[in-house]
Structure 1
Amino acid sequence: MNTDGRWHKQDSQVLFAGGPHDRVRLTVDQAVRPDGVTVAYPHVAAPDSVRVLAVHRGRIAMVTQHHYLHDTEITDLPGGLVDKDEEPAEAARRELAEETGLRAAWLLPLGTVATARATSTETVHLFLAHNCISGAASLDAGEAVRTQWRLWHDIDEGDIRALQTAMPTALADAASLAAVHRAGALLQAIGGILPDADTDLPRAAWAAYTVAATRDPIADERLSLVWLDLAIGQYAEGAAILSELEMSYSGVDGEAAWSRAADRLAALAEPPA
């Protein structure tokens, strides 16, 4: 019996290798369980992958494509495999640009998830992306991907009413769901609940003003930018304020930039009755 409570691999046999550069492998290990019994443990050894929650002017980039194993179209976040000797963040930037054309100025790691912990070694690295520049997509051979743009409330399962009306089916990819939930928790800590999807510009601007004017000095200011983007980035006036703020929020004129943004948002705002 193993006193450490762990499984221990004794041997491993690859039955089949395929996929990109033969990196997906059907494997059977001989493994010793915690009770000391040796068993055959079949699994798929797969490379790590990434998913990217990219916020761009009030909307989130989603991709829809047919998935062979499930024989259906699935809408999820952009992502793909991490290449050999590639860092996950590099893979996230590459996959986002290839599938949507977006080039992200910065990425915030959201941790990892094991998508099928008992049957596959795949680990998915999750990232939040912002301050993106639009460009042309560059799909790999064999890919047929359609980019969609969704509001936060379309994909946040906390807003069931919006979810049911905006998307025909719930977000089906487990890693994408994890990215949405983790990003949502961070954003709520920054500025509370985002304005409803049907909130008009004056009320959305008031919510954004309160965040810009009363930022937590300890919090990552990039998350404040994401919150503001989701709140008012879909409006031309909001996008203009964000563009100026993104260029100078972290420089020597950072505090003045936030103050100017707060003043401009206040001019657009309508305080709640």
Structure 2
Amino acid sequence: MIKKWNLIKENKVFSSKPFNVYKKIYEKPEKRGKFSAFVIQTPDWANIIVRNKKKEILLIRQFRFGSDKVELEIPGGCIDSDEAPIDGARRELKEETGYISNKFQQIGVVDANPAIQSNKCYTFLAENITNTGIRNLDPDEDLECQFYPMEDVQNFIRDGKITNTYIIAAFHWLSLYEQK
């Protein structure tokens, strides 16, 4: 039976916004030796599937530094350390899109990459939306918003126009939610 490894020591080896890197030294179960692992600690993340009265999905286009290209995604962002996931999701939705919702619920959560990351990504569904017309973008954000039929969103995933794993997982959660 696989057992949890014993954490002996951890040290922060790199710090930046929005992540830190820790070196963790573990002892294998039953005293079978030690192993050093590097773990990226980042804030938890929230993604929001926004659906209008026509059941269209709000997608955003924005430049992403990691892929070095413009990506097609859903609204989302880091949850502040003092926020509940739902509060961070509501804040991110309003900041990025100007939309608010009076029907807002969590439909799923995933571990980002448990091999090397410690954070989670929460997925929320926002319906009964209202556009306040006021956005508050971060300095590194420049984005456009547009509603698409769900069939288009599925085709974007199938055709490789949406490749972000968090976004694909969000639509999987939506599919499971709608099967209830």
Report the equivalent of 1:79.
76
Structure 2 letter corresponding to 1:152:
M
Question: CA 1:167 to 1:145, structure 2 compared with 1: closer, same or farther past 3 Å?
Answer: farther
TM-score between both structures, scaled by the size of structure 1: 0.60
Structure 2 letter corresponding to 1:12:
E
Matches of 1:167 and 1:149 in 2, distance apart? 18
User: Which runs of structure 2 are paired with 1:188-203 in the superposition (5 Å)?
Assistant: 188-189=179-180
Which of 26, 35, 39 lines up with 2:21 in the alignment?
26
Mapped pair 1:130 → 2:96: no
- Number of residue-to-residue matches in the alignment: 177
Mapped pair 1:177 → 2:173: no
Deviation of 1:57 after TM superposition, in Å, equals 2.6
Structure 2 letter corresponding to 1:185:
L
Deviation of 1:37 after TM superposition, in Å, equals 2.2
Report the equivalent of 2:51.
55
Contact 2:61 2:72 in 1 (8 A): yes
Report the equivalent of 1:99.
96
Q: Structure 2 unaligned runs (5+)?
A: none
Contact 1:76 1:173 in 2 (8 A): yes
List structure 1 runs of 4+ shifted beyond 4 angstroms.
Answer: none
Give 1 or 2: higher helix fraction.
Answer: 1
Contact 1:8 1:33 in 2 (8 A): yes
Coordinate RMSD, CA, aligned: 2.0
TM-score between both structures, scaled by the size of structure 2: 0.89
The DSSP-based 3-state class of the residue aligned with 1:6 is coil
Report the equivalent of 1:256.
none
Structure 1 letter corresponding to 2:96:
E
Structure 2 letter corresponding to 1:179:
A
Measured against aligned partners, the alpha-carbon deviations of 1:81-112 in whole angstroms (never above 9, x if no partner) come to 00021000001101011111110112121121
Report the equivalent of 1:141.
139
Report the equivalent of 2:177.
186
Measured against aligned partners, the alpha-carbon deviations of 1:135-155 in whole angstroms (never above 9, x if no partner) come to 222211221111122111112
The DSSP-based 3-state class of the residue aligned with 1:14 is strand
Matches of 2:13 and 2:143 in 1, distance apart? 31
Q: Structure 1 unaligned runs (5+)?
A: 157-162, 190-273
Mapped pair 1:67 → 2:67: no
Matches of 2:107 and 2:177 in 1, distance apart? 10
Deviation of 1:188 after TM superposition, in Å, equals 4.0
Structure 2 letter corresponding to 1:15:
V
Give 1 or 2: higher strand fraction.
Answer: 2
Which protein is bigger by CA-based radius of gyration?
Answer: 1
